[in-house]
Chains A and B, each alone.
Chain A
Amino acid sequence: MRIGRLSLLLGLLILVASVAMAQVRVDPGIPSYRQVQGVSGNLKSIGSDTMNNLMALWAEGFTKMYPNVKIEIEGKGSSTAPPALIAGTAQFGPMSRPMKSAEIDNFQKKYGYPPVGLRTAIDMLAVFVHKDNPIAKRGLTLQEVDAIFSVNRRGGHPKDIRTWGDLGLTGEWANKPIDLYGRNAASGTYGYFKEHALFNGDYKPTVKEQPGTSSVVQGVASDRFAIGYGGIGYLTADVLAVPLAAAPGKPYVPADPSHAYTGDYPLARFLYNYVNYKPGSQLDPLRREFIRYMFSREGQSDVVKDGYFPVTAAIAQQELAKVGIR
Chain B
Amino acid sequence: MDHQQVQVKRRTRKTRPSVILLDHVSRGIITIGGIGIILAVSLVFVFLASVVAPLFQQGSATFHHSVTLFPGAKSEKSERWSFIEVDSFHALGIHGLLNERYVQSFFFPTGQPLDEYLLFEQIPRTFTYNRETGTVLAGFEDGSTQAGRIIFNSRYLNLSDLEEGGKKLPDKGIFLWEGKAALKTQEGQLRVQEVSIEMEKPIKGYFREPVVLIDRVDRPSGPIVAGYYANEVLFLRSVTKKTNLLTGEETLEVEEKDIKVPVDSGKGIPHHFFLLGSGDMAFLLWKDGNFLRLDLNLPVATGMQGGEVAPASPAHLEEAKILEKGNLFSLLPASKKDQHQAQITSAVILLGRGTIVTGDTVGRVCSWHLGRTGETLTLINSHLFQHHSEVTSIVPSTRKRLLAIGYKDGSSRVVYLTSERVLAEVKVFPNEPIERVLLAPKDDGLGGWGENGTFAFYTLKEGQPEFSLKALFTPILYEGNAEKEHVWQSSSGTDSFEPKFGLIPLIFGTLKATFYSLLFGVPIALLAAIYTSEFLHPDLRARIKPLIEMMASLPSVVLGFLAALVIAPYVENRVPTIILSLYCVPFTFFLSGYVVQLFPKRWFVLSSRFQFYILLAISLPTGIVLSIAGGPLLERVLFYGDLKSWLDGQKGQGSPGWFLLLLPIAVLAGGLVIHRVTQIPWIRTWIESLEKRKLSPAAVDSLKMVASGLFSVVVAIGVSLTLDRIGVDPRNSFPLVGRLLGTYVQRNSLVVGFLMGFAIIPIIYTIADDALKSVPNSLRAGALSLGATPWQTTVRVVIPTAMSGLFSAVMIGFGRAVGETMIVLMATGNTPIMEWNPFNGFRTLSANIAVELPEAVVGSTHYRILFLAALTLFIITFLVNTIAEIQRMRFRTRSYQL
List residues of A whose CB falls within 8 A of some B CB: 27, 76-80, 82-83, 86-87, 97, 100-103, 105-106, 111-113, 122, 151-156, 158-159, 175-177, 179, 181, 184-186, 188, 190-192, 194-196, 199-203, 205-211, 218-219, 222-223, 246, 249-250, 260-264, 278-280, 311-312, 314-315
Task: Answer whether residue B595 sits at the interface, using C-beta atoms and an 8 A cutoff.
Answer: no
Q: Which 3 A-B pairs have the closest CB atoms?
A: A191-B493, A208-B829, A112-B185
Q: A205-B831, A205-B832, A209-B831 are in contact. Are A200 and B244 (CB under 8 A)?
A: no
Judging by beta carbons under 8 Å apart, are B854 and A80 in contact?
yes
Tell me how far the C-beta of B55 lies from the nearest C-beta in chain A, rounded to whole angstroms. 18
- 25 A-B residue pairings within 8 Å (CB atoms): A80-B854, A87-B858, A100-B494, A102-B857, A113-B156, A113-B187, A113-B189, A177-B648, A177-B743, A179-B745, A184-B830, A184-B852, A186-B852, A191-B493, A194-B494, A202-B500, A203-B489, A205-B831, A206-B745, A208-B841, A209-B829, A209-B831, A223-B746, A278-B187, A280-B157
Partner of A209 from B243, B280, B830 at Cβ < 8 Å: B830
Tell me how far the C-beta of A136 lies from the nearest C-beta in chain B, rounded to whole angstroms. 20
How many B residues touch the partner, as a band? 35 or more
| Chain A interface main SS type | loop
Tell me how far the C-beta of B460 lies from the nearest C-beta in chain A, rounded to whole angstroms. 14
Point out the residues of chain A lying under 8 angstroms from B480, CB to CB.
151-152, 154, 201-202
Nearest residue, chain B, Cβ from A218: B565
Q: How far is the CA of A78 from the CA of B832 in the complex (A)?
A: 22
Partner of A83 from B187, B569, B855 at Cβ < 8 Å: B855
Judging by beta carbons under 8 Å apart, are A209 and B492 in contact?
no
Q: How far is the CA of A105 from the CA of B400 in the complex (A)?
A: 13
Judging by beta carbons under 8 Å apart, are A79 and B491 in contact?
yes
Q: How far is the CA of A201 from the CA of B154 in the complex (A)?
A: 33
Q: How far is the CA of A76 from the CA of B829 in the complex (A)?
A: 17
Partner of A112 from B189, B495, B746 at Cβ < 8 Å: B189
Nearest residue, chain A, Cβ from B353: A200
Q: How far is the CA of A66 from the CA of B460 in the complex (A)?
A: 50
Q: How far is the CA of A97 from the CA of B800 in the complex (A)?
A: 62
Tell me how far the C-beta of A82 lies from the nearest C-beta in chain B, rounded to whole angstroms. 7
Task: Answer whether residue B398 sits at the interface, using C-beta atoms and an 8 A cutoff.
Answer: yes
Judging by beta carbons under 8 Å apart, are A195 and B494 in contact?
yes
Judging by beta carbons under 8 Å apart, are B833 and A122 in contact?
no
Point out the residues of chain A lying under 8 angstroms from B550, CB to CB.
none
Task: Answer whether residue B53 sits at the interface, using C-beta atoms and an 8 A cutoff.
Answer: no
Nearest residue, chain A, Cβ from B851: A184
Point out the residues of chain B lying under 8 angstroms from A112, CB to CB.
185-187, 189, 191
Judging by beta carbons under 8 Å apart, are B156 and A206 in contact?
no
Question: Which among A203, A261, A262 has the greatest number of chain B C-beta atoms within 10 A?
Answer: A262
Task: Answer whether residue B178 sits at the interface, using C-beta atoms and an 8 A cutoff.
Answer: no
Q: A113-B185, A223-B746, A263-B243 are in contact. Are A102 and B495 (CB under 8 A)?
A: yes
Tell me how far the C-beta of A97 lies from the nearest C-beta in chain B, rounded to whole angstroms. 4
Q: How far is the CA of A156 from the CA of B242 in the complex (A)?
A: 22
Give the residues from 639 to 672 in chain B that come closer than 8 angstroms, CB to CB, to chain A.
Answer: 644-645, 648, 650
Judging by beta carbons under 8 Å apart, are A249 and B300 in contact?
yes
Map CB proximity to A onto B151-180 as digits: 1 under 8 Å, 0 otherwise. Answer: 000101110000000000000000000000
Judging by beta carbons under 8 Å apart, are B829 and A191 in contact?
no
Task: Answer whether residue B220 sits at the interface, using C-beta atoms and an 8 A cutoff.
Answer: yes
Task: Answer whether residue B311 sits at the interface, using C-beta atoms and an 8 A cutoff.
Answer: no
Judging by beta carbons under 8 Å apart, are B493 and A190 in contact?
yes
Give the residues from 292 to 341 in chain B that come closer than 8 angstroms, CB to CB, to chain A.
Answer: 300-301
| Chain B interface main SS type | loop
Point out the residues of chain A lying under 8 angstroms from B157, CB to CB.
280
Q: How far is the CA of A307 from the CA of B372 in the complex (A)?
A: 40
Point out the residues of chain A lying under 8 angstroms from B644, CB to CB.
176
Judging by beta carbons under 8 Å apart, are A100 and B493 in contact?
yes
Point out the residues of chain A lying under 8 angstroms from B221, CB to CB.
246
Q: How far is the CA of A112 from the CA of B650 in the complex (A)?
A: 59
Give the residues from 830 to 872 in chain B that come closer than 8 angstroms, CB to CB, to chain A.
Answer: 830-833, 840-841, 851-852, 854-858
Judging by beta carbons under 8 Å apart, are A200 and B497 in contact?
yes
Judging by beta carbons under 8 Å apart, are A185 and B399 in contact?
no
Judging by beta carbons under 8 Å apart, are B858 and A205 in contact?
no
Point out the residues of chain A lying under 8 angstroms from B156, CB to CB.
113, 279-280
Judging by beta carbons under 8 Å apart, are B186 and A106 in contact?
no
Q: How far is the CA of A191 from the CA of B475 in the complex (A)?
A: 24
Question: Which among B246, B478, B492, B645 has the greatest number of chain A C-beta atoms within 10 A?
Answer: B492
Q: A206-B840, A279-B156 are in contact. Are A262 and B244 (CB under 8 A)?
A: yes
Point out the residues of chain A lying under 8 angstroms from B572, CB to CB.
223
Point out the residues of chain A lying under 8 angstroms from B840, CB to CB.
206
Partner of B244 from A152, A179, A261 at Cβ < 8 Å: A261
Task: Answer whether residue B277 sits at the interface, using C-beta atoms and an 8 A cutoff.
Answer: yes
Nearest residue, chain A, Cβ from B651: A175
Point out the residues of chain A lying under 8 angstroms from B632, CB to CB.
none
Q: How far is the CA of A153 from the CA of B377 in the complex (A)?
A: 11
Tell me how far the C-beta of B573 lies from the nearest C-beta in chain A, rounded to whole angstroms. 10
Partner of B375 from A122, A159, A262 at Cβ < 8 Å: A159
Judging by beta carbons under 8 Å apart, are A101 and B830 in contact?
no
Question: Which among A156, A206, A260, A312 has the greatest number of chain B C-beta atoms within 10 A?
Answer: A206
Q: How far is the CA of A179 from the CA of B748 in the complex (A)?
A: 12
Judging by beta carbons under 8 Å apart, are B189 and A77 in contact?
no
Tell me how far the C-beta of A230 lies from the nearest C-beta in chain B, rounded to whole angstroms. 15
Q: A102-B399, A105-B442, A111-B187 are in contact. Are A200 and B855 (CB under 8 A)?
A: no
Tell me how far the C-beta of A102 lies from the nearest C-beta in chain B, rounded to whole angstroms. 6
Point out the residues of chain A lying under 8 angstroms from B805, CB to CB.
none
Q: A106-B857, A184-B830, A262-B242 are in contact. Are A156 and B248 (CB under 8 A)?
A: no
Point out the residues of chain B lying under 8 angstroms from A211, CB to CB.
825, 851
Point out the residues of chain B lying under 8 angstroms from A190, CB to CB.
492-493
Judging by beta carbons under 8 Å apart, are B831 and A263 in contact?
no
Judging by beta carbons under 8 Å apart, are A185 and B245 in contact?
no
Q: How far is the CA of A170 from the CA of B841 in the complex (A)?
A: 28
Judging by beta carbons under 8 Å apart, are B280 and A175 in contact?
no
Known: A100-B494, A208-B747. 7 other contacts (CB 8 A): A27-B246, A79-B493, A194-B497, A200-B496, A206-B829, A223-B572, A223-B746
Question: Which among A101, A154, A155, A250 has the greatest number of chain B C-beta atoms within 10 A?
Answer: A154
Question: Which among A153, A196, A205 has the greatest number of chain B C-beta atoms within 10 A?
Answer: A205
Judging by beta carbons under 8 Å apart, are B372 and A153 in contact?
yes
Point out the residues of chain B lying under 8 angstroms from A223, CB to CB.
569, 572, 746
Task: Answer whether residue B278 sits at the interface, using C-beta atoms and an 8 A cutoff.
Answer: yes
Tell me how far the C-beta of A80 lies from the nearest C-beta in chain B, rounded to whole angstroms. 5
Judging by beta carbons under 8 Å apart, are B494 and A263 in contact?
no
Point out the residues of chain B lying under 8 angstroms from A78, CB to CB.
493
Q: How far is the CA of A246 from the CA of B372 in the complex (A)?
A: 24
Map CB proximity to A onto B236-255 as digits: 1 under 8 Å, 0 otherwise. Answer: 00000011111010010000
Q: A202-B480, A208-B831, A280-B156 are in contact. Are A154 and B277 (CB under 8 A)?
A: yes
Nearest residue, chain B, Cβ from A314: B248
Q: A111-B187, A205-B487 are in contact. Are A199 and B278 (CB under 8 A)?
A: yes
Nearest residue, chain A, Cβ from B642: A175
Nearest residue, chain A, Cβ from B744: A177
Q: How far is the CA of A190 from the CA of B251 in the complex (A)?
A: 29
Judging by beta carbons under 8 Å apart, are B492 and A194 in contact?
yes
Tell me how far the C-beta of A30 lies from the nearest C-beta in chain B, rounded to whole angstroms. 13
Judging by beta carbons under 8 Å apart, are A206 and B493 in contact?
no
Nearest residue, chain B, Cβ from A96: B493
Judging by beta carbons under 8 Å apart, are A185 and B489 in contact?
yes
Judging by beta carbons under 8 Å apart, are B489 and A199 in contact?
no
Nearest residue, chain B, Cβ from A150: B480
Judging by beta carbons under 8 Å apart, are B851 and A279 in contact?
no
Q: How far is the CA of A79 from the CA of B852 in the complex (A)?
A: 9
Point out the residues of chain A lying under 8 angstroms from B242, CB to CB.
262-264
Task: Answer whether residue B505 sits at the interface, using C-beta atoms and an 8 A cutoff.
Answer: yes
Partner of A194 from B493, B825, B830, B856 at Cβ < 8 Å: B493
Judging by beta carbons under 8 Å apart, are A77 and B855 in contact?
yes
Task: Answer whether residue B352 sits at the interface, using C-beta atoms and an 8 A cutoff.
Answer: yes
Task: Answer whether residue B463 sits at the interface, using C-beta atoms and an 8 A cutoff.
Answer: no
Judging by beta carbons under 8 Å apart, are B569 and A222 in contact?
yes
Task: Answer whether residue B148 sits at the interface, using C-beta atoms and an 8 A cutoff.
Answer: no
Q: How far is the CA of A27 from the CA of B743 in the complex (A)?
A: 50
